[in-house]
Structure 1
């Protein structure tokens, strides 16, 4: 009996020793170590997705680095990324099928800045990838476990403890829970950057009352309670976090998206024409671009179900019919659509069918994938931008419109959600629509009356003066003790 008790005590003490030794190392301020020098701010930024597709989180990293802080930005970055975002990614499709995307290059300053380190998350092993629905049901949970394990190892062991951890939300599962636990163990201050709500994206497909949506909402409310602070993209979102999520113990800071420095208007007409003529997507329209006989319309999309791209296709078909039969004075349109995503092929087939049916005679639709700098240049050279972002929560805003304003590009966008007026001033720098018919009306009015389009352009150029640094420094910079 005594021997059994000794054996049990030995194994329990051994297990306790292993647990204590294996705990993540804690963040220790310089003052606690007896170092009187000014402490250098250290921060980690977690992006549970492609770093190159997360401009706001990249801007956070650049701002911290410019003020002398050291940043580790953690996320997917490689030749080929297997991104599986369970319960809270951009689209419910990510729950059902493995989504494989090619690399999106981070902002050039991210990789060249000595104060920024990129810590890549490992993609899922090839053995876990399958297109077989039955095998996926078995492999799906293994993917989730792999993501949890790789994220835990990265946050707790592969990186040194930092003073702050800034985590993007959504996706919220599993990043929000793991970040909360790691920050508690490491004595790191957790800051949640709310872009939207994960449960609201899930509700697009399942409905608000679905058990998974209810659980997801509870999960976000529970794990956000221990954060040191919160950033959010709109005032309306800050109100929901306070009133509905009950966040009162930590500060909530609205931090609106603003364009980075590389987005700027192209005012020189010769430069504009030369750039557009250099793009493979517009080479065939070189003479029309030089003569001003065609208008360049730009839209950026992730090709997912939260953006109904058929609205734009229908509007362009209607425009083509009006320009062909009713108002021949209307110019042709070259629509360049940028972005990658799961529904791209479906929409490309739809566009091809419309072209073969003769419904796009006055419109040419091209898709493109551009570098960060070329995309910024395209926005500065275009005539009009279109946003199809519908907002699952009603309180987030499309980053693409922010970029368009940074390039001085007027915008027409889907406006049937609460936060839209926080970004666009109707009739001053853009217009809103809620149907393909309304969008068609805006296109014919603006392209048929250049003076009206010029009014919006001047408003967008005025908006372009509001920059990320001006928004970030007094809010995030002050919170992180960098300014």
Structure 2
């Protein structure tokens, strides 16, 4: 009996010693002050449980922090090229997360429920290693939400152990996106909402993309003590209007996707429509396909003066192949005679140029929560590009002023009517363009400095 007790005590003390030795190092404000000025000692971990290159808002956060004297470790998946300024800035370190095994990715609902816990366990291990050991202790941790599982829980524990202040940047709600796949009443969705409510209480402060979202966080999530700061998305400097018509034509004609309409672009007989999508369930891309089919029918039979439309769709995602098959079927049926639809994957700078050269932007973002906004519209406004977008959600008026810089729609029929009206009357499209160009003057730094800049102590 004594030998057993001694053995248990030995192993217990050994495990406790090992746990203490393996605790991550803590942030030490005194040591940080000794190593530099108040601003230079501000280190921020930025966590994106997604592709860094496809997370523009978090990249803009990193650039703003670095440009104002702070240091950044931006953590996420390194799947596509990030903003070039990110990789060239010595104050920013990109810390890649290991990708999860391919067999854990599935669109099957039953397999999703089986594989999801395994995927979460893998992510917990990789996040813990990265946040606690692969990066230096930081004064702040800024995390993108969603995804919330397991990000919020792991980040909360790491911040507690490392004496780091946690800030959540709310782009949407994780449970509302999960509900798109499983349904609002599913037990996993209800559990996800509870989880999100519990762990958001660990944050020192909250940033969110709309005032409507700030209201939900306060009223529904019960956040009362920590500040909730609406920080609207604004375009980065590389999104800007291109006013030189010759430069516009040259760039568009250089795109492989425009090969079929090169001559019509030069004569002004074609218009370029741009949409960016992640090809996921929260964007019903068939709405745009149906609208373009209706436009083509009208242009062929009722109003033959309407121009040909070149629709360039950018982005990657799980439903892309399904929609490409649908487009091919419509083309084969002769329903897109006056419309050419092409998909593209462009560099950050070429995408910005495309927006600056296009005639009209389209957003199909429907908002699972009703209180988030599509970043793509912000980028379009940055390039002075007028927008037509799905507008049947609460936060839409925070971004688009109807009839001034864009128009909203709620069906394929409405979208088709907007396309025929705008492309059939250059005056109406020009009015929206002037409004979009005025909107382009509002930039990210102007929004970031008085809100996030002050929060992180980088702006007086």
Same fold (TM > 0.5):
yes
Other-structure match for 2:77: 76
How big is each residue's C-alpha offset from its partner over 1:46-103, in whole Å with a ceiling of 9 and x where there is no partner?
00011111000000000000001110000011xxxxxxxxxxxxxxxxxxxxxxxxx3
- Alignment of 1:59 with 2:35, yes or no, is no
Q: Which is worse superposed, 146-155 or 267-276?
A: 146-155
- Of the candidates 80, 83, 94, which is equivalent to residue 107 of structure 1? 83
Q: Please state if 1:294 is matched with 2:295.
A: no
The alpha-carbon deviation at position 129 of structure 1 amounts to 7.2
Cα separation, 1, equivalents of 2:112 and 2:271: 46
Aligned residue for 2:289, secondary structure, equals helix
For residue 413 of structure 2, the aligned residue among 437, 456, 462 is 437
**Structure 1 residue 21 corresponds to structure 2 residue 13:** no
Q: Is the 8 A contact 2:120 2:149 kept in 1?
A: no
Show CA shifts across 1:220-250 (max 9, x none). 0000001010000000000000011000110
1:469 corresponds to:
445
> 2: CA distance between counterparts of 1:341 and 1:45?
24
8 Å CA contact 1:30–1:36 kept in 2: the answer is no
Give yes or no for the alignment of 1:42 onto 2:18. no
Determine whether 1:426 maps to 2:402: yes
Match runs of 1:225-374 below 5 Å: 225-374=201-350
Contact 1:192-1:227 within 8 A present in 2 as well: yes
1:282 partner SS: helix
Residue 145 (structure 1) aligns with: 121
Q: What TM-score, normalized to structure 1?
A: 0.91
Call closer, same or farther: CA 1:370–1:215 in 2, change over 3 Å: same
Q: Extract unaligned runs of 5+ from structure 1.
A: 78-102
Contact 1:30 1:37 in 2 (8 A): no
8 Å Cα contact 1:408/1:457 also seen in 2: yes
Find the counterpart in structure 1 of residue 30 from structure 2. 30
Q: Output the aligned Cα RMSD.
A: 1.9
d(CA) in 2 for partners of 1:130, 1:353: 25
1:84 is aligned to none
**Whole-angstrom CA distance in 2 between matches of 1:16 and 1:148:** 22
Which residue is equivalent to 2:433? Answer: 457
Structure 2, unpaired ranges of 5+: none
Tell me how far apart the structure 1 counterparts of residues 111 and 330 of structure 2 sit (CA, whole Å). Answer: 37
TM-score by length of 2: 0.96
Q: 1:364/1:387 Cα in 2 relative to 1: closer, same or farther (>3 Å)? A: same
Supply the distance in 2 between the matched residues of 1:441 and 1:374 (Cα, whole angstroms). Answer: 30
Q: Which moved more, 1:470-479 or 1:120-129?
A: 120-129
1:209 and 1:53 mapped to 2: Cα distance?
30
| SS at structure 2 position matched to 1:297 | strand
Distance 2:342 2:171 in 1: 29
SS of residue paired to 2:74: strand
Partners of 1:22 and 1:120 lie apart in 2 by 22
- How many aligned residue pairs are there? 458
Instruction: Summarize deviations over 1:162-185 as a string: whole Å, max 9, x none.
Output: 000000000000011000000001
* Structure 1 Cα separation of the partners of residues 15 and 88 of structure 2: 44
Call closer, same or farther: CA 1:142–1:376 in 2, change over 3 Å: same
Residues 32/6 of structure 1: CA separation in 2 closer, same or farther (3 Å cut): farther
Match of 1:118 in 2: 94
The runs of at least 4 aligned residues of structure 1 exceeding 4 Å deviation read: 31-37, 125-140
Contact 2:272/2:359 (<8 A) preserved: yes
For 1:470 and 1:131, the matched residues in 2 are separated by 41
Give how far 1:35 is off: 6.6
Cα distance in 2 for residues equivalent to 1:402 and 1:336: 18
Alpha-carbon offset, residue 144 of structure 1: 2.6
Tell me, yes or no, if the aligned pair for 2:291 and 2:416 is still in contact at 8 Å: yes
